[in-house]
């Protein structure tokens, strides 16, 4: 067998195996009963081995891109991105399968759950490899449909199918902009082949369309539509609420959902990466929405008293970080982020049951809330102003480091590095919050841990984007062009940096002079602090608004049915 034949066989075999597993389980259920799960475990292991073998062949032969059955409905567009993601998805799939053996054993529809998980793995892998844009849309839709069936696996619970419908409806919304993007691609570029479309972007004259008296480049509109589809699918504000209310689903489903399904948006954007060189507005939108989602998700995480719900809002915040990275042009860093976060969050969800079980037996659980840190619910022998001083002064230091190391690389790339350094500082700050609450107040210990955590965060953000970018994007010109497209006007950029530095200094002053006022308990909050806590605890009232709108629409539907029943 030649290399081409082996590579083709492994590629299509990888996509076929999960569906074959689901079909085999379906027909063997009445013969083997619950023991049929072993078939699913075998195929899941075989899928991982096939993905690893494909990766070995791809990198051993120094391939950058491989097209199979090009310009047909069955086109596979295999790149470094799809290879890396296929290994990641197959690995998470195997872990979820193994965990489900005992966790789901007493649940009704035991084998049905394994069938649905197999189908989901097959759908995600097919989305990764598809080279025809229509096929990409089909599997993009099937992710939402299959997720609905997984979430309502226990259909006897009212909340399961209620919030399962919320999830499916949100994913349907993500299909709409992608559908219109595909329509515009076919109308103006005459192709449905992804590789062909991306290849002609730099050689084709950019066409404009008129809208409300404005002439807008068609690539800006296509990029914006694809970005909207990705933002909705990736739980960005205000389309995030479905993820926080999918907790009625089984833990293995939550692990798969947080490790892989919510990352589909970031993968779609990376799949169309060359397009965003010509669609800078979409990148700016991603930055703004990602920043907003990161802040809201992290804040809502702090007020939750449910482990799984806290993890859900943590995922929302991390998806915001990931989209922000895309917004500054660090596409490769976003892929690395989604892989590492996926592995980390899958582990947390699979272990959340043990955490809850052990917490119920523990007698030394602290009564403090994480949110109380910001309102001064600390021990009186600590020095909170000192911690705030460290956290706020490192931000300008990080910016100075970014200027020193990256200014020679040009302002466009420099902007992205400065912003990533800022979020390296923010990541370190979040770690310090945890350290502050768990470590004795020895000053030298705090200084050492602070320096260590910030060093790790800053070095990681600076190095991973360049190292992993070389693995995912071998075309360095493309990476540079994306960074350039993500850059904002120099005057606006320096204005934002100046405002950020001003807010940092004001935050330091506020933290120092309000120390006495901060020594209060959560149940004693008044005024503005109470308003913040109440708003966050009600999750910004988004679910309340959805409930009101749903009830009004239901009442309207009943009225219309009664009025026109004859």
Helices 384-406/411-438 angle, 10° precision: 160
Overall domain count for the chain? 3
- Work out the mean pLDDT of the chain and round it to a whole number: 77
Residues present in the chain in total: 566
The enclosing H or E element of 8 equals helix 3-32
315/177 same-domain check: yes
186/308 same-domain check: yes
- 150, part of any domain: no
Half-sphere CA count of 21, side-chain side, radius 13 A: 33
Per-residue model confidence (pLDDT) at position 373: 42
CA 248 to chain centre: 20
- 534, part of any domain: no
Q: Dump pLDDT digits (tens) for 443-458.
A: 566 556 666 666 666 6
- 542, part of any domain: no
Mean pLDDT for 367-377 is: 44
Per-residue model confidence (pLDDT) at position 314: 81
Mean pLDDT for 327-353 is: 79
| 67 DSSP β-pair partners | 77
Residue bearing tokens 């492994």: 10
Q: Where residue 384 falls among pLDDT bands split at 50, 70, 90?
A: very low
Q: Where residue 418 falls among pLDDT bands split at 50, 70, 90?
A: low
Alpha helix locations (H) across 190-214? 194-199
32/70 same-domain check: yes
More confident residue, 395 or 210: 210
241/342 same-domain check: yes
- 533, part of any domain: no
- 562, part of any domain: no
183/324 same-domain check: yes
327/374 same-domain check: no
177/119 same-domain check: no
Cα(99)–Cα(91) distance, integer angstroms: 13
Mean pLDDT for 172-184 is: 94
Return the closest-CA partner of residue 291 out of 114, 137, 496. Answer: 496
- 138, part of any domain: no
Q: pLDDT at residue 363 above 70?
A: no
Q: pLDDT at residue 298 above 80?
A: no
Per-residue model confidence (pLDDT) at position 123: 94
- 143, part of any domain: no
Cα(553)–Cα(566) distance, integer angstroms: 21
Q: Dump pLDDT digits (tens) for 118-148.
A: 999 999 999 999 999 999 999 999 999 998 8
Per-residue model confidence (pLDDT) at position 379: 44
Which of 29-33, 227-231, 373-377, 522-526 bottoms out in mean pLDDT, i.e. has the lowest?
373-377
Per-residue model confidence (pLDDT) at position 411: 44
Which of 205-219, 220-234, 276-290 bottoms out in mean pLDDT, i.e. has the lowest?
205-219
**E strands, 140-187, where?**
none
173/298 same-domain check: yes
Q: pLDDT at residue 509 above 80?
A: no
Q: Where residue 378 falls among pLDDT bands split at 50, 70, 90?
A: very low
Q: pLDDT at residue 215 above 60?
A: yes
Q: Where residue 324 falls among pLDDT bands split at 50, 70, 90?
A: confident
Mean pLDDT for 203-215 is: 75
295/395 same-domain check: no
24/97 same-domain check: yes
259/383 same-domain check: no
3-state secondary structure of 222: helix
Range of the domain at 505: 368-524
- 187, part of any domain: yes
Q: pLDDT at residue 374 above 90?
A: no
Cα(259)–Cα(253) distance, integer angstroms: 10
209/325 same-domain check: yes
Q: Dump pLDDT digits (tens) for 18-31.
A: 999 999 999 988 88
Q: pLDDT at residue 274 above 70?
A: yes
């Amino acid at each position: 067998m030649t290399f081409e034949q082996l590579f083709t066989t492994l590629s299509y075999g990888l996509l076929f195996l999960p569906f074959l597993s689901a079909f085999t389980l379906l027909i063997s259920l009445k013969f083997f009963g619950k023991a049929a799960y072993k078939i699913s475990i075998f195929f899941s292991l075989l899928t991982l081995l096939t993905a690893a073998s494909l990766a070995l062949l791809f990198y051993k032969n120094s391939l950058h891109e491989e097209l199979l059955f090009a310009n047909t409905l069955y086109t596979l567009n295999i790149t470094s991105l799809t290879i890396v993601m296929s290994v990641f998805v197959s690995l998470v799939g195997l872990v979820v399968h193994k965990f489900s053996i005992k966790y789901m054993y007493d649940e009704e529809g035991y084998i049905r759950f394994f069938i649905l998980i197999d189908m989901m793995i097959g759908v995600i892998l097919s989305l990764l490899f598809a080279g025809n844009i229509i096929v990409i849309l089909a599997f993009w839709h099937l992710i939402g449909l299959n997720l609905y069936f997984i979430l309502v696996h226990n259909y006897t619970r009212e909340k399961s199918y209620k919030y399962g419908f919320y999830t499916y409806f949100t994913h349907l919304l993500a299909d709409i902009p992608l559908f219109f993007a595909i329509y515009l691609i076919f109308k103006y570029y005459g192709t449905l082949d992804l590789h062909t479309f991306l290849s002609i972007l730099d050689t084709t004259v950019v066409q404009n369309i008129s809208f409300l008296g404005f002439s807008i480049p068609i690539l800006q509109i296509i990029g914006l539509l694809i970005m909207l589809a990705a933002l909705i699918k990736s739980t960005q504000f205000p389309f995030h609420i479905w993820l926080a209310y999918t907790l009625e689903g089984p833990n293995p489903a939550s692990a798969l959902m947080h490790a892989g399904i919510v990352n589909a948006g970031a993968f779609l954007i990376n799949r169309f990466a060359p397009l965003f060189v010509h669609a800078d507005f979409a990148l700016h939108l991603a930055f703004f929405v990602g920043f907003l989602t990161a802040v809201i998700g992290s804040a809502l995480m702090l007020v939750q008293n449910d482990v799984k719900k806290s993890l859900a809002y943590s995922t929302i915040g991390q998806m915001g970080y990931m989209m922000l990275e895309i917004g500054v042009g660090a596409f490769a860093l976003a892929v690395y982020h989604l892989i590492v976060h996926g592995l980390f969050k899958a582990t947390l969800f699979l272990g959340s049951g043990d955490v809850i079980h052990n917490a119920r037996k523990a007698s030394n659980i602290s009564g403090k809330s994480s949110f109380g840190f910001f309102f001064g619910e600390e021990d009186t022998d600590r020095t909170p102003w000192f911690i705030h001083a460290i956290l706020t002064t490192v931000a300008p230091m990080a910016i100075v480091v970014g200027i020193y190391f990256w200014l020679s690389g040009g302002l466009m790339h420099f902007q992205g590095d400065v912003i990533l350094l800022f979020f390296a500082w923010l990541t370190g700050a979040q770690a310090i919050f945890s350290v502050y609450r768990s470590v004795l107040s020895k000053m030298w210990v705090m200084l050492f841990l602070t320096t260590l955590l910030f060093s790790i965060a800053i070095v990681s953000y600076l190095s991973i984007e360049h190292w992993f970018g070389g693995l995912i994007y071998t075309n360095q010109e493309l990476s540079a062009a994306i960074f350039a497209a993500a850059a904002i006007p120099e005057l606006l950029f320096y204005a934002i940096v100046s405002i950020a530095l001003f807010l940092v200094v004001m935050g330091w002053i506020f933290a120092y002079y309000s120390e006495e006022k901060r020594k209060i308990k959560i149940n004693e909050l008044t005024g503005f602090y109470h308003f913040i806590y109440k708003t966050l605890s009600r999750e910004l009232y988004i679910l309340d608004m959805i409930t009101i709108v749903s009830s009004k629409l239901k009442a309207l539907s009943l009225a219309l049915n009664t009025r026109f029943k004859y």
